[in-house]
Structure 1
Amino acid sequence: MVLIAVFGVALLIAVLVSGLAARSILSTSLLFLVAGALVGDGAFGLIHITADSPIVAVTADLALFAVLFTDGMHVSFPALRGAWRNPARALALGMPLAFVGMALITHFLVGLDWTTSFLVGAVLAPTDPVFASAIVGRKEVPARLRQLLNVESGINDGLALPVVLVLIAAAGPASGEAETSLSKIALELLGGLALGIVLPLVVNALVRLPVLGAEPKLQPLLPLATGVILYAGCHLTHANPYLAAFSAGAVLASVSPESGRAFEPLGEAVAELSKFVALLVFGALLTPRLFGDLTVGGYVTVVLAIVLVRPASLLISLIGTRFARREKLAAAWFGPKGFASVVYGLLVLQSGIPQGEEAYTLIAVCIAFSIAAHSSTDVPVARLFEVEDLVGIPDDADEDGHDGAGRSRPPGQPGRRPEWRSTTMRARDLAMAYESVRVDDDALEAARLMAEHQLPGLLVLDRDGEPKAILPASQVIKALVPAYVIEDPALAAVIDEKHADRLCEALRGRRVGDLLSDKATRPPIADPDDTALEVAALMAQARSPLVAVARRDKAGLHLLGVITASQLLQRLLGHAEPHE
């Protein structure tokens, strides 16, 4: 009961200071972590929690599941199909580099054996964007950056688990519960993926039956019920719950967007509450003795893990991508260690392997330092992307003709539209990641990109990264077909298949800029605050299949994403009432 009372007080304080926290380096996550440390055995001793207490593993497990489930619901499959390369780079190259880099510094600075050092690297490899909410939760931040951080963190938890289990088995004699095999690990991962895909499809099929259907006020509970059943099912069948949670969230949002939108406020609240509970409990484990048991080399390792290993590994993986410099730096910095590392760290401690306690001490301190560092810097970094209205409360000017300090607004100067007062869909809410090329890119590669993703056109950027034109697929086809065939289509019948295969040679050595029509104009650009109807009017006026969404400031134009005609049509029709 004391734990519940402490949580209630901490929650009240967090709510009261959340507005200030959203505009400063103050962190509500850090508040719960410190509150847990103060009431634990290391300070006032109001609650008695140890690493082997069941509540530690349960709260961390639930928090990770809830966060991954809600994160999965933010994944857009159309956007992911068009921008899968960046998350793939982070997972296939960045994550292994971080894993190896962490193992090296752990071995040489802490003195753990090689197997245990690699085990520490595997435990600390997963990332958790929940401690960078001002970045991943804001539409003003480029969609491809948000997509990268979200997808990377949603998948790397599941990828790290089999490595952790194998290394625990290889580290030495372990308790019976820690024994595992490669076949068992593979079955758990496949089971989690299967449950995460099949269950949402079954639920969606049930909802669409004529005799069934959710009452509007109960519709937000449909994804919640799905998540509860999935969580229990994974633990009963020993399937991987984390891979299941992320995949289920993504599939449910894809097959039933209306359920995803209805569940979003409730889902975010559930994820926040579970996160706060887990942080409070984990904080109670952070005693002076724990910090005292870590050597100087251990603290150096912790610092290097946060400021060197993760940033360097991700920056290497993003070499050659189209990310702007500040986007790369933001992605490299935000690799916080979260609940997956807590769960896996407890597995290490409870396994009974040699050097297990030393490894857990290093892991726990690294997680605590990471939460403090990353949850306190998300707001300052968010401001680099022109995220000003961080809590939805206008600080410069409101709608009553006064600015934030009560001064009158000059006549004719529009006030800022406070997002929290309106449910109107804005351009920034519709913007999604979309494949783009630069004028100097290879034309043949651009054509292959268009064909691979079945795109009606590509957004062409100039050398400064600003939208220049739209390259329609028809223009690329025109460049492939010989001029004499265009003038007389009947001649196409006499071109054999072998010669037709050589048409792509017409693109070799050419640049994207060479394919643009002389009449090509700059694509329509919408302001992030434009409504869906304003975007539709702009698209119709320009007769363009897509509209770029960008914010302009003193530094230039910052592309946030793209709205396609099909996406906009789906949104407009989705709000139209069907005729009886």
Structure 2
Amino acid sequence: MDDLHLSYGLAGLLAVLLALGSYKMRTLPLSEPMVALALGVVLGPQLLALVEISDHVRDLILLEGSRLIVALSVMAAALRFPTSDIGRVVRPVLLLVAIVMPLAAVVSGAASLVLGLPLALAALIGACLCPTDPVLASSVVSGTPAEKSLPARVRHTLSVESGINDGLALPLVGLAIATLLPARSVGAAAGSLAYEVLVGAVIGVVAGALAGWGVRLATRDRDLEQAPDLILPLLLAVAVLGVAKVAGTDGILAVFVAGVVYNRMVSADQREPQQAIDEAVNRYAALPVFLVLGVVLPWAQWAELGPAALLFVVLVLALRRLPWLLALPRPMRLPAQQAVFLGWFGPMGVSSLFYLAHSLDQGVSDPRLFAVGSLMVTASVLAFGISSAPGRRLYVRAGSSHARPGVPD
């Protein structure tokens, strides 16, 4: 337990230091998750050995920690733009969720076959890696540098996609788990997953509407106190996550739906300060998860994967998403430049860690699941952390005939 408390203290200190240099960080080929991950490696058993975390504690921290962080992050994504702007991105988001995400699962699973994995395990790894992570995506599309460099439509598309597909990846993961575990029936799993998604969405609609109605009622004759007004969406995210979990439904999807409905019902004057608080929490609350990941990285198991591990990483980064965006710019109504940007920046991060931990919690015991999944998440943190600031600058240099930076198309 002292190791865990030391991790908390170091993660908090790291977050403070990074916050002090927050603007500069957004202009460097570096990200806060990269720094937290590196610190975890330094503190872990491979170097200083100041912190050691057992597999049981690892799985618990990654499951519940990543669940909470993803919930807060999708709430921030839901509040990042006015809901009136959603109509501009409905087509690309639908295609990203309905076509690109399943294809990403297939490609990632197929790529893992080069590691000699059985087909069922490869399918589960592909499903865990298919959602776009809202935490890492936020570092690309939020903040002053992103607002100056990128069209609002690009930022809005990636925000909405990363918010919604984290919940909708659950059916793919659940079906893959059912095929891997002989005691599970695929038919029964499909029915259960349909219940989790549909009822989760209903819980989100009801909770978001009640929260929005409550804000309207509270501000009819007087303003809310400033402190509860600012953190209300965070409280809503935690409440919806808890209720959805108790109801046995898809909590991540429920939180995002609740955020969209709540966003629709409150005024811009209320949404914008709340959104700023949510972004700050989203940006720094995830650092302990990445620090823990750095501590528990399975270096020995990575070495056992051999040279094929590098091929696997390259295949996933190159083929998981980019080719499909390049093939769909016309139906998505995206200029080629925007398609390339969105095709590259679809990072894997906390949401993939959540589904890896969820799979372990559901009874998948093959150690290669965490070894391969954590390898790809680590590679994603590095690749997208290094490329986010240069990628925005390249986008500006290339110019765009379809959108001006910061202005919706």
> Could you tell me whether the CA contact under 8 Å between 1:36 and 1:284 is conserved in 2?
yes
**Following the alignment from structure 2 to structure 1, what is the Cα–Cα distance between the partners of residues 245 and 332?**
39
Match of residue 327 from structure 2: 316
> Alpha-carbon deviation of 1:143?
2.1
State the one-letter code of the partner of 1:304: L
State whether residues 166 and 180 of structure 1, in contact with CA within 8 Å, keep that contact through their aligned partners in structure 2.
no
In 2: Cα distance, 1:26 partner to 1:239 partner: 36
Partner of 2:349: 338
Higher share in strand: 1
Deviations 1:161-196 (A, max 9, x none): 1111121121134699x9962222122112221121
Partner of 1:371: 381
Q: Hey, what's the Cα distance between the residues in 2 that align with 1:97 and 1:171?
A: 20
Q: How far is 1:129 from its partner?
A: 4.2
**Alpha-carbon deviation of 1:220?**
1.0
Q: Larger relative CO (CA 8 A, sep 6+): 1 or 2? A: 2
Give 2:204's aligned residue. Answer: 196
Give the % identical residues.
27
- Given residue 28 of structure 2, which amino acid in structure 1 is its aligned partner? S
Structure 1-normalised TM-score? 0.63
Which residue of 1 is the match for residue 314 of structure 2? 303
Q: 1:295 to 1:162 in 2, by over 3 A?
A: same
Which whole-Å CA distance do the structure 2 matches of 1:52 and 1:311 have between them? 36
Name the CA distance, whole Å, in 1 between partners of 2:304 and 2:70. Answer: 27
Query: What's the CA shift for 1:287?
Result: 4.0
Structure 1 equivalent of residue 112 of structure 2 = 106
Task: State the partner residue of 1:90.
Answer: 96
Instruction: Give the direction of change, closer, same or farther, for the CA distance of 1:82–1:31 in structure 2 (3 Å limit).
Output: closer
Number of aligned residues: 394
Provide the TM-score with structure 2 as the length reference.
0.88
CA distance in 2, matches of 1:65, 1:320: 30
SS in 1 for 2:45: coil
The reply to whether residue 81 of structure 1 matches residue 81 of structure 2 is no
Gaps of 5+ in 2: none
Q: Equivalent residues in 2 for 1:410-429 (5 A)?
A: none
Alpha-carbon shift at residue 68 of structure 1 (Å): 0.6
Offset of residue 212 of structure 1: 7.6
Structure 2: how far apart are the matches of 1:99 and 1:32?
A: 27
Residue 70 of structure 1, aligned match among 76, 80, 94: 76
More helix by share: 2
Give 1:272-311 correspondences, 5 Å limit.
272-311=283-322
The whole-number CA distance in structure 2 between the counterparts of 1:188 and 1:266 is 29
Residue number in structure 1 paired with 2:121: 116
- The question of whether the paired residues in 2 share the 8 Å contact of 1:42 and 1:289 is answered with no
AA aligned to 1:83 is V
1:29 paired residue number: 33
Shift of 1:20: 3.4
Deviation string, structure 1 residues 231-252 (Cα, Å, up to 9, x no partner): 2212222221110111111111
**Residues 531-570 of structure 1: pairs in structure 2 closer than 5 A:** 550=404, 560-561=407-408
Q: Name the CA shift for 1:20/1:212 in 2 (closer, same or farther; >3 Å).
A: closer
2:13 is aligned with 1:3: no
Corresponding residue for residue 52 of structure 2: 48
Give the conservation status (yes or no) of the 8 Å contact 1:40–1:287: no
Secondary structure of 2:407's counterpart equals strand
Pairing 1:159–2:168 present: yes
Deviates more, 1:264-273 or 1:132-141: 132-141
Residue 411 of structure 1 is matched in structure 2 by: none
Structure number with larger C-alpha Rg = 1
**Which structure 1 segments of 5+ residues have no match?**
388-463, 467-548, 552-558, 563-580
Post-superposition shift, 1:327? 1.4
CA distance in 2, matches of 1:27, 1:211: 44
1-structure distance, mates of 2:178, 2:333: 41
Mapped to 2, the partners of 1:9 and 1:150 lie a distance apart of 28
Would the aligned equivalents of 2:73 and 2:134 in 1 still touch at CA under 8 Å?
A: no
Using the TM superposition, give the Cα deviation of residue 208 of structure 1 relative to its aligned residue in structure 2, in angstroms: 3.2
Paired with 2:369 and 2:258, the residues of 1 have a C-alpha distance of 33
1:325 corresponds to 2:331: no
Equivalent residue, structure 1, for 2:261: 251
Aligned pair in 2 of structure 1 residues 347, 179: CA closer, same or farther (>3 Å)?
A: farther
Q: 1:240 to 1:341 in 2, by over 3 A?
A: same
Is the counterpart of residue 149 in structure 1 residue 153 in structure 2?
no
Give the Cα–Cα distance (whole angstroms) in 2 for the partners of residues 290 and 367 of structure 1: 15
Give the distance between the partners of 1:231 and 1:102, measured in 2 at CA.
28
Alignment check: 8 A CA contact 2:97 2:165 kept? yes
Matched, 1:171 2:180: yes
Q: How big is the shift at 1:41?
A: 2.5
Provide the C-alpha distance between the structure 1 equivalents of 2:245 and 2:362, rounded to a whole number of angstroms: 19
